[in-house]
Amino acid sequence: MTLREVQEILEAEVFFGHDQLGMEVKTAFGADLMSDVLAFAKAGSLLLTGLTNPQIVRTSDVLDIAAIIIVRGKRPLPETIRLAEELNIPILGTKYILFETVGRLYTKGIVGCIEKVSDKRDFS
């Protein structure tokens, strides 16, 4: 689905990336631990998180994450939005809690970027 559809499903506010809502997304990863995001998230996925600091953008940039969705009605810090603009990564916010955010996207066809943690090295 497109990022615009994701925005509509989640009734999300777009903090940055209005011009990129046409991008296609198929997979997502949700966590508040950036260490785990670095270990498991895949390129081109959505990142769903409750964190609001600039490291969510830095982490997404390193991993080639498609867009960031901040959950639980939190707002990104001004420096987080500035960094998202600089690195050109869309950043949205939804009032839904993480569980509801995931459920709503999953029923509409977005799947996890991995299903389970595997023992094999996977660099995708």
Partner 1 sequence: MISHETVVYENSFSLEGRTFKNAGYVSRQVKTLLQRMKLSKEVVRRAAIVTYEAEINICSYAQRGKIILQVTPKQIIIEAIDEGQGIADIKLAMKEGYSTATEKIRHMGFGAGMGLSNIKNFSDFFHITSEVGKGTHLKMIIRI
Binding residues vs partner 1 (CB under 8 A): 32-39, 43, 49, 51, 53-56, 58-59, 61-64, 87, 121, 123-124
- Least gap, CB of 108 to partner 1 (angstroms): 27
**C-alpha of 33 from chain center:** 13
Residue (7 or 91) nearer to partner 1, CB: 91
Q: How far apart are CA 93 and CA 122, in angstroms?
A: 30
Nearer to partner 1, 116 or 121 (CB): 121
| Cβ-based nearer residue to partner 1, 107 or 124 | 124
| DSSP assignment string, 79-117 | HHHHHHHHHT--EEE-SS-HHHHHHHHHHTT-EESSSS-
Rounded to 10°, the helix 78-87/55-63 angle is 20
